[in-house]
Structure 1
Amino acid sequence: MRGLYVAAAVLAFGQAALADTPKVVTDFGPVQSLVAMVMGDLGTPDMMLPRGGDAHDFQLRPSQAQDLATADLVIWVGPEMTPWMARAMDSLGSGLSLPLLDAPETLTRTFGAKDEGEHAHEGVDPHAWLEPENAQIWLGLIAEALAQTDPVQAETYRANAKAAQAEVTVIEADVAAVLAPIKDKPFAVAHDAYGYFAAHFGLQNEGSLRMGDAAPSGAAHLAELQDLLTADGAVCIFPEANHTDASARQMAEATGARLGAPLDPEGSMLTPGPALYGDLMRGLARSMAECLSQQ
């Protein structure tokens, strides 16, 4: 099941008001957090990927497959991020789907893009929650999806979304303040997941050890990256949570850069819930600043 945009899909799904809060299923931490903000006290969205799981490679348990099949609303980034969700939804025939990356309002980038606002879906970078403007947009889309699925509580969802958007504004300002002193410090990362974050906050991301989420580190690419980081005087190289730091450690030794703390762009090691999005964004900023600010 793919690309069924919510406004049209809900009309087909039915307009009747629901007596209970709808059963909402999400793919992984950042999306679950945004949905939890909008649902508030009305309910808690399920999350398919457990804490510590790999968002790109996961196998649903039978009980999770049943939850997905019986969901009233599935809110997820899209198959570019969690292909196992797409496969499960195709086979299970679950109900209404809101793939956030497909929404026309979503700001997208292609892998390696240097400018903002691109909307090419071929090679699209799915890590779009790292753009705070997308978090704002998605909160509104989530509220409307819930409002149309559960009209009785529509105004509550919309009010919660507005409050959450104000919270994201605070998160964005906090992150910007932490990162401001190190914006001119070049660094490298484990994989190409930080395009949105670096572009929004004006950071000097020089490259990644892996070009994509599942792409191995080829010898030619690593040699080119080593030359670039050495020439540009990269200050830090950041490994990634839930993955080995061996390649990052080797690159740091080869270039003279410091090895930073593991970054967690997917919130894989964080506690799920409404606070996760802020914890994720602030955590990235703190980890980067702690390494890049050292003399």
Structure 2
Amino acid sequence: MQKAVRALLLTTALLSADTIAARAETPDVVVSIKPIHSLVAAIMQGVGEPALIVEGGASPHTYALKPSNAAALQDADVVFWVGHGLEAFLEKPLEALGDKATVVELEDAPGLEKLPFREGGPFEAHAHEGEDGHDHAHGEEGHDHDKEAEGDHAGHAGEAGHEGHEHGAFDMHLWLSPDNARAIAAEATRVLSEKDPDNADAYKANLAALTEKLGTLDKEIAATIAPVKDKPFIVFHDAYQYFEHHYGVNTAGSITVSPETMPGAARLTEIREKVKTLGATCVFAEPQFEPKLVNVVIEGTEAKSGTLDPEAATLEPGADLYFTLMRSIATSLRDCLGQAS
């Protein structure tokens, strides 16, 4: 009996050691922001849990690295971030890692659609006939730089957090297109499979499942916004160009270039005039930032206000967050623009 107990204990100890060893071989993965973390978490389901840097209601535009974040980076085997134009606070810490971790800048992922950064307040209209059967304004190349409000982005390339936002640079809110989400997930799968070949089959199976779910989500969102997609609206900052381009919604302008660059009086006047011209429209705030600028531009107009959350500030992190994020944007657009009609 004692021999049997000892044998059982030995077997249990060996199994526990094997489990610990297997866990130790799973790479430590760190992800910068919630939407990207959600996609990576979906790829890693059943294998491991990625760590998140920008937690809670914080914004990558204004984030300061915490000691706990620095510790996570030091232990990381793989780090996923969007790139220099979004999470500028990560530039020096990632440089300091050297070759200790595989750092993946997702703006370079194969298959991404990348749209030029816009700075003008009202986005100048130009048609994209033949794209998914609709015409809509984007301003990718056609907005008039001569009309940009003086002082709103002077010296913008040197401002904290936006070294990459020079003329000709790309909009970094890449995840707000399901096509780009697929490309980001595919790149995460490739990197993780190379780093952790023992779990490559699991990563690839998770990618297949995620791709199918994204296809279903895409159709759902298109149906949700179909009744209001031609109605123009104003956003707090120009974070929605990829959503706009993919679904054909009619973003007419943004109050500010980026949240840490507050607009000058000229830009606010320009946007206010645009709101008056549009009449019954919606102007959307964001949960991380004071809504007073939205109140300024809609005061005395027929416009209504709503809230959009492009960086998922109000959502709990996890593999399902991306789907909740995209649905909430679509629902907010439908509900506010439906009232404004």
Tell me the TM-score normalized by structure 2: 0.77
Q: Are the aligned partners of 2:33 and 2:60 in contact in 1 as well (CA < 8 Å)?
A: yes
Higher mean displacement: 212-221 or 178-187 = 212-221
- 1:115 Cα deviation (Å)? 4.8
Q: Deviations over 1:138-158 (max 9, x none)?
A: 111110100000001111101
Q: Deviations over 1:50-70 (max 9, x none)?
A: 111121222222232121022
Letter paired with 1:75 = F
2:170 equivalent to 1:170: no
Select the residue among 271, 296, 308 that pairs with 1:250. 296
Change in Cα spacing, 1:123 to 1:234, as seen in structure 2 (3 Å) is farther
Letter paired with 1:72 = D
Instruction: Please name the residue that 1:108 is paired with.
Output: 114
Q: Deviations over 1:64-100 (max 9, x none)?
A: 2121022110011112111111221123434101111
2:268 equivalent to 1:268: no
Matches for 1:203-222 after TM superposition, within 5 Å: 203-222=249-268
Change in Cα spacing, 1:39 to 1:179, as seen in structure 2 (3 Å) is same
Q: Are the aligned partners of 2:116 and 2:140 in contact in 1 as well (CA < 8 Å)?
A: no
Instruction: Please name the residue that 2:76 is paired with.
Output: 71
Q: Are the aligned partners of 1:146 and 1:154 in contact in 2 as well (CA < 8 Å)?
A: yes
Letter paired with 1:158 = K
Q: Deviations over 1:226-257 (max 9, x none)?
A: 22222233511111111111010121124320
Cα distance in 2 for residues equivalent to 1:251 and 1:42: 48
Larger Rg over CA atoms: 2
SS in 2 for 1:75: strand
Cα distance in 1 for residues equivalent to 2:327 and 2:337: 15
Select the residue among 251, 260, 282 that pairs with 2:327. 282
Change in Cα spacing, 1:66 to 1:211, as seen in structure 2 (3 Å) is same
2:278 equivalent to 1:232: yes
Cα distance in 1 for residues equivalent to 2:300 and 2:174: 31
Runs of 4+ more than 4 Å apart: none
Cα distance in 1 for residues equivalent to 2:167 and 2:68: 32
Cα distance in 2 for residues equivalent to 1:258 and 1:190: 13
SS in 2 for 1:274: coil
Letter paired with 1:165 = T
SS in 1 for 2:194: helix
Instruction: Please name the residue that 2:198 is paired with.
Output: 152
Matches for 1:135-146 after TM superposition, within 5 Å: 135-146=181-192
Cα distance in 2 for residues equivalent to 1:54 and 1:230: 30
SS in 2 for 1:207: strand
Letter paired with 1:62 = P
Instruction: Please name the residue that 2:103 is paired with.
Output: 97
Q: CA RMSD in A?
A: 1.9
Select the residue among 24, 28, 31 that pairs with 1:23. 28
Q: Are the aligned partners of 1:18 and 1:151 in contact in 2 as well (CA < 8 Å)?
A: no
Letter paired with 2:287 = A
> How many residue pairs end up in the alignment?
275
Cα distance in 2 for residues equivalent to 1:292 and 1:130: 19
Instruction: Please name the residue that 1:13 is paired with.
Output: none
The runs of 5 or more residues in structure 1 that have no matched partner are 1-16
Cα distance in 1 for residues equivalent to 2:280 and 2:171: 24
Cα distance in 2 for residues equivalent to 1:122 and 1:62: 35
Instruction: Please name the residue that 1:4 is paired with.
Output: none
Instruction: Please name the residue that 2:145 is paired with.
Output: none
Q: Are the aligned partners of 2:35 and 2:321 in contact in 1 as well (CA < 8 Å)?
A: yes
Letter paired with 2:261 = A
Cα distance in 2 for residues equivalent to 1:244 and 1:173: 33
Letter paired with 2:106 = L
Letter paired with 2:298 = A
- 1:293 Cα deviation (Å)? 0.6
2:54 equivalent to 1:49: yes
Select the residue among 76, 83, 87 that pairs with 1:82. 87
